[in-house]
Structures are given as C-alpha cells and as structure tokens.
Amino acid sequence: MTTIVLTVPGISCEHCERTIREALTPVKGIHHLDVNIMAKQVRVTYDEAQVATEKLKEILQQEGYPVAS
C-alpha cells in the first residue's frame, strides 16, 4: 500500500471535493481517499500493483483539477 499527497490548487469548495471523490472512488486499487479543501490536497492510499500515480493525476486533470508539479 502506498499513500501519496497530491496538491491540487483548483480545490476551493465542497463541490470540488465531491467531484474528485466521484472521479477517484471507483478506480480499482484505491483504498482510502481524503480531500482537504483548505490545504488544497488530495491524500490517496492505493495499491501500486493496480493503479499508478500518473493515472490518478490523469483522472484529476480530466476532471479539471490538475495536480501542481
């Protein structure tokens, strides 16, 4: 299991949180997801054998929430 914290500057409200949760929750391999609106961060615990970090970033990008580099 791996935990990563992604900084997502576009997070500003509960709608953003809900959109991110709806996009990432169905992804196979994600075990825990936490969206911190104030910190503009998404913490994901996932199985690297099932999903790659780049895939998580790609999904967020597609939803309009690019990850800061």
Range of the domain at 46: 2-62
pLDDT of residue 69: 73
- Strand pairing class (2-7; 30-36): unpaired
Q: How far apart are CA 43 and CA 45, in angstroms?
A: 7
For residues 48-64, average pLDDT? 96
Closest among 48, 38, 53, 45 to 8, alpha carbons compared = 38
Q: Read off the CATH number of the domain in which 10 is found.
A: 3.30.70.100
The residue type at 26: P
What is the pLDDT, as a whole number, of residue 31? 96
Whether 45 is covered by a domain: the verdict is yes
pLDDT at residue 9 tops 90: yes
pLDDT above 70: percentage of residues in the chain: 100
33 in a structural domain: yes
pLDDT, tens digit, 9 for 90 and up, residues 25-46? 999 999 999 999 999 999 999 9
